[in-house]
Structures are given as C-alpha cells and as structure tokens.
Amino acid sequence: MRYVLESVSWKGWQSCWTAQRAVEASVRLARAEEAVQAVTEECREARTRATQLEATIKAKDKELERLAKVLSQARGSEYSTDAQRLQAEEAVRKLDAELAAVKSRASQLEHALRARDKDIDGLQRLLEAAKGAEFMAAAHRARAEDSTRQAEAEATASRQRVVQLESHLKARIRELEKAQRAVNESGLDSDGQQARTEESLRALEAKLTGLRAHASQLQSALKARDKQVEKLGKAVEAARVGEAQLALRHQELEEASRTLAGHAGGLRQRLQALTSALRGREHACAQLNKALDAARAAEQAAYDQRSQAEEATRKLEGELALARQRAVQAEAACRSKERELICLQRSLQAVRRDEFEASAQVAATEEAAQKLDTELGSVRARLIALEGGLKARNAEVDKLSRQLSGAKGNEEEAAARQRAVEEAFRHVEGDLAGMRSRLLLLQGALKTKERELERCKQEAETARVAEAGSDLRVAEAEAAAQA
C-alpha cells in the first residue's frame, strides 16, 4: 500500500513536473513566435528599405540619363566617346589651373580698369591744360597782331620820314644847282673846270636819282657823293694854285661842299638810323611773324593734341566698356561655374550621403541578419532540445496517457506549434537568403550606377571646363587682337 501510495505520489509528481515542462515549452514557443514576428517585421522593414533603395537607384538612373543628355548636348555629335574621355581627363587636370587663371584674369581686369580710370583722369587734365594753352595762344596771337599793327604804323611813319628826307635832299640839290649857276655866271672858271663841274653835277644828279629810285641805295649814293665832293675839293685846290682869283669862290664852294658834306653826313646818319630802325622793325616784324607762326603751330599742335586726346579718350572709353563687359562676362561665367561646382558638390555629397545611408542600411540589415541567424540557431537548438525532451518523454506520456491526457494534448499542441515555428523559420530563412542576394545585387547595381554617375559628372565638368577654356582663349585672342 505504501509502495502503491509512493508510486502514485511519484507518478503525480512526475505528471506535475511534466505539466510544468509543457507549460514552460508553451511559454518558450510563445516567445519563439514573438521572435518570429519580430524577425518578420524586420524582414518587412528590410523589404521597405530595399524598395527605397530601388527608388533611389531609379532616381539615380534618371539623373544619369539627364546628365548623359546634357553631356551629349555639350560635347556634340562631332566628337567620339574616346576623344571626349581624353578631353575630360585632360580638362580635369587643368581645372584648378584654369580657375586660378580666371581669378587672376579677373583681378588683372580690375587692376586694368583702375589704371584706365587713372589714364582717363590724366587725359581729362591734359584736355583742360590744352584748353588753357589754346586760350593763352589766342591771347598771344592777339598781342602779336597788335604789335604787327604798331610795327606797320611805325613803318609808315618811317616811310614818311624818308619822303621828308628826299624833299630835304631835293632842296639841297636846288641850292647846289643855284651855286653852280652862280659859278657859271661868274665866268671865272675855265672850260675844263666847268666841264668837270658839270660832269660832277650830272653824276651827282644821277646818284640822287638813284636815291629817289630805292631807299636802300641812299648810302651808296652818299658815298659816291662824298667821292665827288672830294674830287671837287681837289679840283678847287688845283684851281686855287693856278688862279688866285677863284680862291674866294673855291672857298665858298668848299664851304658849300662842307655844308653839303655835313648835311650829307647828317643825312647818312639819319639814313643809318632809319636803316637800323627799319632793320629793327623788320626784325621785330620777323619775330612777330615767327611768334604768329609759333602761335599758329602751337594752336595747331594743341588742336592736334586735343584731337588725339579725344580720340585716345574715345578709344580708352571703348576699351574700358569692352573690358567692363568682359569682366562682367568673366564674373558671370565664374559665378555660373561656381554655381555648377556647388551643384555638383551638392550632388556628390547627396550621392555620398545616399551611399553612406545605403551602406549603413546594408550594414544594419547584415547585422539584423546575423542577429536573426544567431537567434535562429538558438531557436533551432532549443527546438532540438525540446524535440529530444519530448521524444524522451513520449514513453512516459504513453504510460501515463490516461492521467496525462491534458498534458498530451498540450504536447500535441506544442508539436504543432513547433512545426509551425519550423515552417516559419524556414520561410524566414528563405526570405533572408533572397533578401541577401537581392541586397548584394542592389549593392552591385548601386556601385555600378555610382561609377557611371561619377564618370558622367567628370565628363560634364570636363566639357564645361573645356568650353570655359575655349571661351577664355577666345577672349584672350580678342584682347590680343585689339591690343
């Protein structure tokens, strides 16, 4: 009886323990189901991320198509792909140098604009100085004209004085003729002396007639008259030796000759003074003419200088306008290139950010897959342990089938749950394997598209840089041609 009671109590305890183990197994199965649901949710999130990656890849494909269209429009149909690639590589190498050249060119244009502004200010000052010189030349010309009029008036006065001298000479000649007639009337002189005297008078009249003809020959006529007077003096002295009676008359003639010589000397001095005055006036007139010519030349030079300055000013203004326009174009081109560079940098940063996010998502997915693998391994180990425990206890369950019918039902339910869990795990493993392969394919496609995108961007940048370089070379050639 005691054995029976002990056996019954043992069987009751065993049944309780079995029921407790069944409850624990059900709890573990519930936890496994929750883990499967969590894994399923993670798989859904992974699918969502994969869909997002596909959408991103499609967007990148569209961006690649757009960039390819832009690149094809930029490079044109004349160049082949290989040539464009070589040009792109060469342009990428020259990008920094050309940007530095553009900046230096812009700074040079700014310095040139400042220098041209300074040149314009200097030319304006020169124009003002030329205008002042022109005013001074006009005043100097007016003064020269006044001096010329004064010189002409003085020359007219000198001519009047010469006329007065000629009238005075005529009066002296008449007096000399009266004296000669008085000598002739006296009848004391000989025929030879009379002939010589008449000859001297004719020569004197001829010389005086020469003086009337031209004022410049008065001095030579006076010298000839002096010689004639000396001859007359010698003739008078000779007649004084031969004829004493003619001494008084000869003395009178000598006095008349001396008087005439004195008058002739005075006239000579006045003629010399007049000649010197005329020379002075002629020299003054020549100086005035030279001054007028110099004033006209200065005026013409000032006018030419002003014309040249105005032409240079217009030319400088045109060059400054062209330089400003080119500077504005260069600044606009620099701004557009900087905007393009900023857009490309932003696009590159966005691509890198997307790549980083994709790599982070892939890493998170791989980590989740690894966690899922570990959890699946632990679940499999637990399931194997449960299967071993269940197989070990199947015999005891068969023996205690009547007493442990509820527990047996629980075990059947646990087995069904176990099979469902295994089926769910197999399905999850298949999904995970598909997701891994799909992620690998997506990663490969993403890397390929990123490489194509980078290549297209490089080609586009190369084409833009080459276009900018050609524009810069054309601008430099135009500047050199204008210079």
SS3 call for 108: helix
Mean pLDDT of the chain: 58
Q: Is the pLDDT of residue 182 over 60?
A: yes
Put simply, whether the predicted model's pTM sits higher than 0.75 gets the answer no
Domain ranges of the chain: 14-93+334-469, 139-316
Q: Is the pLDDT of residue 1 over 50?
A: no
Rg of the chain over all Cα atoms, to the nearest angstrom: 68
Tell the residue number behind the tokens 């569209």, with chain if given. 62
The pLDDT of residue 195 is: 65
Out of 24-28, 237-241, 275-279, 409-413, pick the least confident: 237-241
Q: Is the pLDDT of residue 15 over 70?
A: no
H/E stretch holding 215: none
Residues whose CB is less than 8 angstroms from the CB of residue 45 and which lie 6 or more positions away in sequence, other chains included = none
Residues whose CB is less than 8 angstroms from the CB of residue 429 and which lie 6 or more positions away in sequence, other chains included = 376
Please, is 204 exposed, middle or buried when counting C-beta atoms within 10 Å of its C-beta (0-12, 13-18, 19+)?
buried
For the ranges 123-127, 177-181, 217-221, 364-368, the maximum mean pLDDT occurs at 177-181
Query: 113 phi and psi, to 5 degrees?
Result: -65, -45
The pLDDT of residue 300 is: 72
Mean pLDDT in residue range 420-425: 62
Please, is 36 exposed, middle or buried when counting C-beta atoms within 10 Å of its C-beta (0-12, 13-18, 19+)?
buried
| Distance from C-alpha of 213 to C-alpha of 166, rounded to nearest angstrom | 11
Q: With pLDDT > 70 as the criterion, what percentage of the chain qualifies?
A: 4
The angle subtended at Cα 188 by Cα 184 and Cα 194, nearest 5°, is 50
Answer whether 102's CB lies under 8 Å from 330's CB. yes
Answer whether 382's CB lies under 8 Å from 35's CB. no
* pLDDT (tens digit per residue) in 101-121: 555 554 555 565 565 556 555
Answer whether 235's CB lies under 8 Å from 193's CB. yes
| Distance from C-alpha of 453 to C-alpha of 57, rounded to nearest angstrom | 11
HSE-CB of 477 using CA atoms within 13 angstroms: 6
| Distance from C-alpha of 291 to C-alpha of 144, rounded to nearest angstrom | 7
H/E stretch holding 220: helix 218-242
